[in-house]
Amino acid sequence: MKALVTGGAGFIGSHVVDRLLAEGYRVTVYDNLATGQRRFLDDALATGRCRLVVGDILDRDRLTESLDGSSLVAHFAANADVRRGRDHPERDLEQNALGTSSVLEAMRAAGVERLLFASTGAIYGEPDVFPTPEDAPLPVQTSLYGASKLAAEGLISAYAHGFGLQASIFRFVSILGPRYSHGHVFDFVRKLLHDPERVEVLGDGRQRKSYLHVDDCVDGIVRALRRDEAPVSIYNLGHADVCTVDDSLGWIARRLGFEPERRYTGGERGWVGDSPLVHLDCSRIRALGFAPRRSIRESVEATVDFLLDNRWLLDSRG
Amino acid sequence: MKALVTGGAGFIGSHVVDRLLAEGYRVTVYDNLATGQRRFLDDALATGRCRLVVGDILDRDRLTESLDGSSLVAHFAANADVRRGRDHPERDLEQNALGTSSVLEAMRAAGVERLLFASTGAIYGEPDVFPTPEDAPLPVQTSLYGASKLAAEGLISAYAHGFGLQASIFRFVSILGPRYSHGHVFDFVRKLLHDPERVEVLGDGRQRKSYLHVDDCVDGIVRALRRDEAPVSIYNLGHADVCTVDDSLGWIARRLGFEPERRYTGGERGWVGDSPLVHLDCSRIRALGFAPRRSIRESVEATVDFLLDNRWLLDSRG
């Protein structure tokens, strides 16, 4: 069995690579290394059953060639910078929607029919229903990131109906754990190492979020991979619990041994497109036996420990 | 007051142009004439307050220049060929999603904040709720056309939240009336003029659809233009009634004086992505005083009459 993982050198993608290798697949990692890290593939490449192709998903010919013999694509390449959408409003569309179109066309050309896709809870915008189920009322998009991922989901579903593709789509909360390399824990750890005395918090600190450990996340993905038969299956992947940004900052600071003074920028949202509450209804994936093994606190602490052990990552981002 | 109408030489777009002129706007029609028709603008250009720029919406510089002094954009340019999405799977994404991104960026560059957008009931895929409200459960896309329009809606909403745009989004059923130039009435009229004895019907003829006359459609659009104040307002625009494809074919044949034998290709759907039932809940727009003045049958008959008076259109499409 052969699989190709786009974004396979990234945070979540590289864990999917490891897991597919463990399941017996030969794996092609397809990654442009814009945010992916070769080091995340050290173990994978050492198996001898994994190869890395450095390429962009928009380079369709190269991608199609690289699919050679694969029966499965895990499409995890994305522009995942939800917060900075307004700084480059076309990047989300290009990387996430056009990129997905390119992946779908490459799959069609190569005759690959099975797809796993990394979507996001951001597609729910600011929902009215909590915990939010997969068939929530059609949401108004509040971020370019969410809009571009919803666009990608729509393309995938249309291909499933039009061309016989079979897709499993996962709407993630924020994922934490080893190889985590951007997001609020990353930012807080870096800020606190720079200045342990005081820290700026975007928003009022009371935004409530659900976080999931990457091992639990990959466990959910593999359950769906084994079981799905419908043309399109959509799953929320999150934790039954939520915590506030303040909770999370407290766990991070304590792990670092600091007691910083907190300064809040204020407002219910940390940035335009931030959601004051993220809490997904995960009954669908739980029906496949999914149950997170780590608490949110454990996931936050594991992430801090990883970053402390990998300071090169903290230094590598501007 | 100046307005720019993309796709302003098209079927619905040219009616929007006429109406905006009647409301006192100076109007720039921006159209690449791929499917638009110069003749649809004869009356508009004769007013002396309308100009035509032949350009593509993906040509952002030209579009931005053409916005000069406009306070309103009506974005009606689109690839509207829902049925042939599988023949050129990237065209919908390019024309509808990328095209909309280009329009949004041009508006941002030119400082234009008010947008009217032509979306479609196709974004509901095959809904479970009838009549289908704007906040129906998040649908799975069944056509590339619907997927690309939903992508465009998402981008517009994200821009409204991120950049202060104010948008009114209209989800149309199929629109009929003068200047109608593609769709099932067009196809049946052309087939019957070619062979009045027999006609092929895609599907089982029992698909139920809601159709709206273009004058009623534009009336709804202008009501929203006058009243909307929220960053994003979304309206279904359709008829309270539905008819079957068989009903519609009967009205068309009778109008032409023919009694053809019907041959059905069979199946609940006429093509991949066709929807067995389209019936939108239009309470929101009705709350603004909208009420269709023509029955579906009157709209079908008016369309047949228009096509008989404009046979050049029937001859112009492959």
Q: What digits encode the pLDDT tens for the residues B201-228?
A: 999 999 999 999 999 999 999 999 999 9
Of A149-153, A313-317, B211-215, B293-297, give the lowest mean pLDDT range.
Answer: A313-317
Q: C-alpha B126: how far from its chain's center?
A: 19
A126 touches chain B (CB under 8 A): no
Closest A-chain CA to B156: A141
Cβ contact B157–A150 (<8 Å): no
Cβ contact B154–A151 (<8 Å): yes
Residues of A in contact with B138 (CB under 8 A): 134-139
Tell me the helix, strand and coil percentages in chain B, rounded to 5.
45, 20, 35
Tell which of A108, A126, A155 to mutate to test the B interface (max B CBs under 10 Å): A155
**Are the CB atoms for A288 and A161 separated by under 8 Å?**
no
Question: What pLDDT, on the 0 to 100 scale, is given for residue A316?
Answer: 78
Strand-pair category, A166-172 with A232-237: parallel
- Provide the Cα torsion A88, A89, A92, A98; round to 10°: -110
Q: What is d(CA A273, CA A189) in angstroms, rounded to the nearest whole number?
A: 23
Q: Which residue has the tokens 């024309």?
A: B95
Cβ contact B138–A143 (<8 Å): no
| pLDDT classification of A318: cutoffs 50, 70, 90 | very low
Q: Is A299 exposed, middle or buried (0-12, 13-18, 19+ CB in 10 A)?
A: buried
Q: Which of A25, A30, A124, A145 is catalytic?
A: A145
Question: What pLDDT, on the 0 to 100 scale, is given for residue B180?
Answer: 95
Question: What pLDDT, on the 0 to 100 scale, is given for residue B318?
Answer: 47
Strand-pairing partners, residue A221, are none
Beta carbon pairs, A and B, within 8 Å: 134
Question: What pLDDT, on the 0 to 100 scale, is given for residue B89?
Answer: 85
Question: What pLDDT, on the 0 to 100 scale, is given for residue B317?
Answer: 62
SS3 B3: strand
ipTM of predicted assembly, 2 dp? 0.92
From the list A93, A138, A234, the residue facing B155 with the nearest CB is A93
Portion 76-105 of A in contact with B at CB < 8 A? 85-86, 89-90, 93, 97-98, 101, 104-105
Residues of B in contact with A158 (CB under 8 A): 85, 141-144, 146-147, 273
Looking at every residue in chain A, the average pLDDT score rounds to: 95
SS3 B218: helix
Q: What is d(CA A134, CA A157) in angstroms, rounded to the nearest whole number?
A: 14
B137 touches chain A (CB under 8 A): yes
Residues of B in contact with A125 (CB under 8 A): 157
Segments in chain B below pLDDT 50: 318
How many angstroms away from the CA of B200 is the closest CA of chain A?
A: 22
Q: C-alpha B290: how far from its chain's center?
A: 17
Task: Read off the amino acid at residue B120.
Answer: T
Q: What is the pLDDT of residues A268-310, one digit of tens each?
A: 898 887 888 999 999 999 999 999 999 999 999 999 999 999 9
Q: What is the pLDDT of residues A177-195, one digit of tens each?
A: 999 999 999 999 999 999 9
Strand-pairing partners, residue A174, are A211
Residues of B in contact with A162 (CB under 8 A): 85-86, 89, 143-144, 272-273
Query: What is the percent of chain A where pLDDT is above 90?
Result: 91
Portion 139-168 of B in contact with A at CB < 8 A? 139-144, 146-148, 150-151, 153-155, 157-159, 161-163
Question: What pLDDT, on the 0 to 100 scale, is given for residue B287?
Answer: 97
Question: What pLDDT, on the 0 to 100 scale, is given for residue A317?
Answer: 61
> For helices B144-163 and B99-110, what crossing angle results, to 10°?
20
pLDDT: which is higher, A318 or B176: B176
- Provide the Cα torsion A278, A283, A284, A288; round to 10°: 130
From the list B151, B158, B161, the residue facing A154 with the nearest CB is B151
Q: What is d(CA A157, CA A155) in angstroms, rounded to the nearest whole number?
A: 5
Question: Residue B253 contacts by C-beta under 8 Å, 6 or more apart in sequence?
Answer: B188, B192, B199, B259, B260
Tell which of A94, A141, A275 to mutate to test the B interface (max B CBs under 10 Å): A141
How many angstroms away from the CA of B149 is the closest CA of chain A?
A: 9
Q: Is residue B235 flagged as an active site residue?
A: no
Of A9-13, A86-90, A147-151, B257-261, give the lowest mean pLDDT range.
Answer: A86-90
**Are the CB atoms for A97 and A156 separated by under 8 Å?**
no
Q: CA nearest B160: which of B69, B228, B220, B92? A: B228
Q: CA nearest A119: which of A84, A91, A156, A88? A: A156
B122 touches chain A (CB under 8 A): no
Q: C-alpha A167: how far from its chain's center?
A: 17
Residues in chain B: 318
B188 touches chain A (CB under 8 A): no
Residues of A in contact with B127 (CB under 8 A): none
> For helices A184-194 and A245-256, what crossing angle results, to 10°?
40
SS3 B52: strand
**How wide is the angle at C-alpha A97 spanned by C-alphas B95 and A220, nearest 5°?**
150
Q: Which residue has the tokens 């196809």?
A: B187
Q: What is d(CA B259, CA B264) in angstroms, rounded to the nearest whole number?
A: 15
Element (H, E) at B264: strand B261-264
Q: CA nearest B140: which of A172, A80, A112, A168? A: A168
Residues of B in contact with A97 (CB under 8 A): 93, 97, 151
Number of Cα atoms under 13 Å in the Cβ half of residue A85: 30
